[in-house]
Amino acid sequence: MPLRNDRDQWGSVSIALHWLTLLLIFGMATVGLLMVEMDNGPAKIQVYALHKSFGLTVLGLTVLRLLWRLAVGTPRPVRGTPMWQDGLARMTHGALYVVLLAVPISGWWFNSAAGFPLRWFSLVHLPKLTTFDP
């Protein structure tokens, strides 16, 4: 399997980014459903902080995926695929990228509006996207 995408197949970098993103999303969804049931306290704050950090990681991976896709291109459609089906696949793919960008950015936005600090794994402090709004 090639490292880069070619005309006939996805490369190993694209495949790895795809599966890593999927694993992060499933993990975040599971933690997100569980953390709302937790009692208020330090443990819940830590779980929320991890959830936010993994969300920011998904955002970063999505940007990286889009840049990689622009740099190396995508495989052509499988021979014999109807044009309508290829068009629908492209629209669906685009919509998924919009969601992969919009959900973490909206989380960052709501976190900013709530007045909470945002740090990526306690390493990098991120700026607020908006001012505090009670």
pLDDT (tens digit per residue) in 116-131: 999 999 999 999 999 9
Find the helix or strand (DSSP H, E) in which 125 lies: strand 124-125
Answer for the pair 62, 21: CB distance below 8 angstroms, yes or no. Answer: yes
pLDDT at residue number 82: 95
Higher model confidence: residue 78 or residue 133? Answer: 78
Closest CA to 29 of 54, 12, 49: 54
pLDDT at residue number 134: 79
Mean pLDDT of the chain: 94
Q: Give the tens place of pLDDT for each residue, 47-85.
A: 999 999 999 999 999 999 999 999 999 999 999 999 999
Query: pTM for this one?
Result: 0.90
pLDDT at residue number 28: 92
pLDDT at residue number 132: 87
Phi and psi at 124, nearest 5°, equal -125, 125
Q: Give the tens place of pLDDT for each residue, 7-25.
A: 999 999 999 999 999 999 9
